[in-house]
A and B are shown apart, each in its own frame.
Chain A
Amino acid sequence: MVARRLVLERCAQVAGLLAAAGLLPSAARAAWPQAAFDAKNLADAVKALGGSAPVESKDVTLTGPDIAENGAVVPVGCACSLPGLKRLALLVEKNPNTLAAVFDVTDALEPNFSTRVKMGQSSNVFAVAMLGDGKVLYAQKEIKVTLGGCGG
């Protein structure tokens, strides 16, 4: 796992260099954190985003349903009102790649974002808050995904 992570990080660095040199399409900008989106768990994703080990905290809010009728669209939201907040992220533990979305927090915005994510199966979902002092806090909630329809 460690080796894989290193390789991924190196790939990201290389990609960053290529992008800086104008060798990649404009979309594949260095700003998009490839390594973080390739991560397979919460700790690795946070690390790839430059954060320390995440600590569960009541100061982070994660909204979402208890049961999702369909895993293709699961409404989730993250919020945190601590001072010094830099980023909020949404992650799904059991997805092939854990990280779903990252939002940079600016003074012009309320630190509160909602979107919808795909879930391949019932799983813990995380809201992660990255603070300016390097601290990383998170909230989690289990969201169950049910089978619907005739299954055909």
Chain B
Amino acid sequence: MKALWIGAAGLMGLALLPVQAQKSSADAIAEYRKMLEDGNPADLFEAKGEALWKQKRGPKNASLESCDLGKGPGVVKGAFVELPRHFVDTKKVQDLESRLVTCMSTLQGLNADEIAKTPFGRGEQENVTALATYVAAASRGLRFNLPQAHAEERRMYEIGKRVFYFRGGPYDFSCASCHGEDGKRIRLQDLPNLNKNPGDGIGFAAWPAYRVSNGQMWGMQLRLNDCYRQQRFPYPGFGSEATIAVSTYMGVNAKGAESIAPSIKR
């Protein structure tokens, strides 16, 4: 039991709380979340990402300062709330993280396939997350407005919608099983309805986020990866078409939502 000291908090029913606590529990949780907002450890990752963005690295000893995230080379502010989008150079719709890997490959000479294969939180993947945190933070307070002018962007939205509703696995779950209706929750966690704009700073507009439960910084790729794990699906590849399609679906639906990323989450 001792060995699980911290892990146990996330794994087991720790306390059967008295019935009278029920009415105020939502308020108490809100109070707890409020207390954590001031001093979000995501700031540490944002600072690290900023340093990485400006640092000359890789075989080409270059910084990422000329990386085109969709608004022109080097433009960071505002890029996050328009991703995923289509890029002419790669002829693909890319999300923030896969686009960062493209820049790390083209500008710095790092191996994109190697990075995609690296587990989350290790090596260059850790850097991708920090960079994504930095780029997202530069759009804090801006509203999502993904471009849909390109046919490929519209096609990815349509694929994403189908991916969102795709049921499978031993539990018959799809994304929609949990995120397809208003006002639902798992345990005490509110589930945003991702078929529409779920509100400012909710759902797509809240990631990357610092995860309190494990002290890790998670980008949208890892957020989706763990959703699929809990959906009891096989393992989605980093930057795979399904993950970018479903991100496009959520991002377009979130049009008008204010980004609070990087946020802090349970």
Chain A interface residues (CB < 8 Å from chain B): 65-73, 75, 95-96, 116, 118-122, 144-152
A145 B14 Cβ-Cβ under 8 A: yes
**Shortest Cβ distance from residue A75 to the other chain B in the assembled complex, whole angstroms:** 4
**Shortest Cβ distance from residue B231 to the other chain A in the assembled complex, whole angstroms:** 10
Residues of chain B within 8 A of A67, CB atoms compared:
17, 21, 25, 28-29, 32
A148 B15 Cβ-Cβ under 8 A: no
**Given A68-B32, A70-B266, A148 and B189 contact (CB-CB distance below 8 Å):** yes
Interface residues of B in 189-237 (CB under 8 A from A): 189, 212-215, 229-230
Interface string of B171-202 (1 = CB under 8 A from A): 00000000000000011110000000000000
**Shortest Cβ distance from residue B209 to the other chain A in the assembled complex, whole angstroms:** 13
Residues of chain B within 8 A of A121, CB atoms compared:
8-9, 14-15
The secondary-structure label for the interface of chain A is loop
Residues of chain B within 8 A of A145, CB atoms compared:
9, 14-15
Residues of chain A within 8 A of B170, CB atoms compared:
none
**Given A65-B32, A69-B32, A149 and B8 contact (CB-CB distance below 8 Å):** no
Partner of A72, one of B6, B24, B32, B187: B6
A148 B10 Cβ-Cβ under 8 A: yes
Interface size band for B: 20 to 34
Knowing that A96-B5, A146-B15 are A-B contacts, what are 17 other residue pairs whose CB atoms are under 8 Å apart, sorted by A's residue number? A66-B21, A66-B24, A66-B28, A67-B17, A67-B28, A67-B29, A68-B32, A70-B10, A72-B6, A75-B32, A96-B2, A146-B25, A147-B10, A147-B13, A148-B10, A149-B189, A151-B187
A120 B35 Cβ-Cβ under 8 A: no
A32→B154 CA distance, assembly (Å) = 61
Residues of chain B within 8 A of A144, CB atoms compared:
15, 17, 21
Interface residues of B in 1-27 (CB under 8 A from A): 2, 5-6, 8-15, 17, 21, 24-25
**Shortest Cβ distance from residue A92 to the other chain B in the assembled complex, whole angstroms:** 11
Residues of chain A within 8 A of B122, CB atoms compared:
none
Residues of chain A within 8 A of B33, CB atoms compared:
69
Asked whether B89 is an interface residue with its Cβ less than 8 Å from the other chain, the reply is no
26 of the cross-chain contacts (CB-CB < 8 Å) are A65-B31, A65-B35, A66-B31, A67-B17, A67-B28, A67-B29, A68-B32, A69-B212, A70-B213, A71-B6, A71-B9, A71-B14, A72-B6, A73-B215, A95-B5, A96-B5, A120-B9, A121-B14, A144-B15, A146-B187, A147-B13, A147-B187, A148-B189, A149-B189, A150-B187, A151-B187
Partner of A148, one of B21, B31, B266: B266
**Shortest Cβ distance from residue A65 to the other chain B in the assembled complex, whole angstroms:** 4
A69→B264 CA distance, assembly (Å) = 12
A72 B215 Cβ-Cβ under 8 A: yes
Residues of chain B within 8 A of A65, CB atoms compared:
28, 31-32, 35
**Given A75-B35, A120-B8, A69 and B14 contact (CB-CB distance below 8 Å):** no
Asked whether B36 is an interface residue with its Cβ less than 8 Å from the other chain, the reply is yes
